[in-house]
Structure 1
Amino acid sequence: MNQWDEKFKSDTYYYGTKPNTFLEQQEKIFGQAKMIACYAEGEGRNAVFLATKGHDVTAFDYAQEGLQKTITLAKSQKVHVITELKDLIKDPFEVGRYDGAVMIFGHFSKVDQYEVLDKIVGSLKADGIFLMEVYEDAQLQYQTGGPKEIDYLYNESELYNWANKHDVLHFACVEVDRVEGIGHNGRSKVLQLIMKKKI
């Protein structure tokens, strides 16, 4: 059992059951997008939210315990979410399948970050929309959630340079309040990105 299975095996939803605020505010960017993939989805709060908005959602995560809670949460909201156990670093992604993709607080070592992001974008169809919110390097000073090592946080300029290969619809490095279960609690420094895939 990995650390995320350990974190998620409690009946309590570690990051709560309500969607991430940035995703909730920006959901309309997906428009009529039918198929959306939620990567590093944890216990399913964002995937279930998108399903309640009429999207066909697949939740990918490394923790089976999280995926099981995704199924339970979906049933409680009377929606269906497909779940798939996936190691986002090691496992291949299906190419060109999804109309949209979401990753909320999916954190990896800096050596792996952009390989994962490239695979996520690769899973999108042409003109597919990718939305993400992650902690910026400066989050270490806030101590309100996220990784405790800078190696697992994202650098503003590096993310912007990577995203600029595509059509950037929104990019911000901002202070926000995030109260999400017991995992995120308070003022935080985040990076927000919405972009449209270019071929």
Structure 2
Amino acid sequence: MSEQSDQERWNGRFAGDDYLFGTAPNAFLSSQQDLLLPGQRALALADGEGRNGVWLAEQGLRVTATDFSPVALDKARRLAADRKVEVSFVQADLATWEWTEGSFDVVAAIFIQFADPTLREAIFQGIRRTLAPGGLLLLQGYRPEQIRYGTGGPPHAENMYTATMLREAFHDFEIVSLAEHDSVI
């Protein structure tokens, strides 16, 4: 699939006045509030319409939020303006994103499972590079079991996470919490 058709697909997904996933932050992300400190530099990856990046800014963090879709970013900018917070929004393809070393204290990667295993490895390496020493990765994603539930997420099991895969990918990180669960939605 070409970059343009990918962008058209994402733009179409975020078209319209409503926010696809609402404007409240992801529940997992907001449950981690006690780990966040005002002034920290945060990166919200593939943040779509901005609900997570804006929430991080509301917590006093200095936020850069990326997304591939300019349509999503326009809505994210409106959300930030409505909430009266500053967020640096950057249109970015994570396949070519420049992961500057030690630039962020917090990386939020919430359901970024559009990434196939090759891209996922590049993103995980980028996260490892861009997190400052002692930084915090807040990562949430679907397990392969999600496919049989049919309630959302990517249709490709290989894009999903297992606890073993995450432990291997971040083997030298201190893992504060790694949990698998099923939620009824």
1:120 Cα offset (Å): 1.5
**Partners of 1:91 and 1:117 in 2: how far apart?**
12
**Partners of 1:149 and 1:2 in 2: how far apart?**
20
Instruction: Supply the AA of the counterpart residue of 1:23.
Output: L
The number of residues matched between the two structures is: 178
- Structure 1 segments, 4+ long, off by >3 Å, are none
Q: Match of 1:18?
A: 24
CA pair 99-85 structure 1, distance change in 2 beyond 3 A: same
**Is residue 39 from structure 1 mapped to residue 11 from structure 2 by the alignment?**
no
Structure 1 contact 58–84 (Cα < 8 Å) conserved: yes
1:71 Cα offset (Å): 0.5
**Partners of 2:60 and 2:157 in 1: how far apart?**
37
Match 1:116 to one of 119, 123, 148: 123
SS of structure 2 residue aligned to 1:72: helix
**Partners of 2:47 and 2:53 in 1: how far apart?**
7
Percent same amino acid at aligned positions? 29
SS of structure 1 residue aligned to 2:49: coil
Q: TM-score, normalised by structure 2?
A: 0.91
SS of structure 1 residue aligned to 2:16: coil
Match 1:106 to one of 103, 112, 135: 112
Q: Match of 1:72?
A: 78
Instruction: Supply the AA of the counterpart residue of 1:28.
Output: D
Q: Which has the higher contact order (CA 8 A, sep 6+)?
A: 1
1:123 Cα offset (Å): 0.9
Counterpart mapping for 1:169-188 below 5 A: 169-177=176-184, 186=185
Q: Match of 1:134?
A: 141
CA pair 134-33 structure 1, distance change in 2 beyond 3 A: farther
**Partners of 1:156 and 1:6 in 2: how far apart?**
33
Instruction: Supply the AA of the counterpart residue of 1:141.
Output: R
Deviations 1:106-132 (A, max 9, x none): 011012212101101211111111101
Gaps of 5+ in 2: 1-6
Match 1:143 to one of 129, 146, 150: 150
Match 1:164 to one of 171, 174, 177: 171
**Partners of 2:39 and 2:87 in 1: how far apart?**
15
SS of structure 2 residue aligned to 1:114: helix
More divergent stretch after superposition (29-38 vs 62-71): 29-38
**Partners of 2:175 and 2:65 in 1: how far apart?**
24
Q: Match of 2:67?
A: 61
Gaps of 5+ in 1: 178-185, 187-199
**Partners of 2:153 and 2:76 in 1: how far apart?**
20
1:32 Cα offset (Å): 4.0
Normalized per residue, which structure has more strand?
A: 1
State the superposition RMSD in angstroms.
Answer: 1.3
Counterpart mapping for 1:182-197 below 5 A: 186=185
Instruction: Supply the AA of the counterpart residue of 1:16.
Output: G
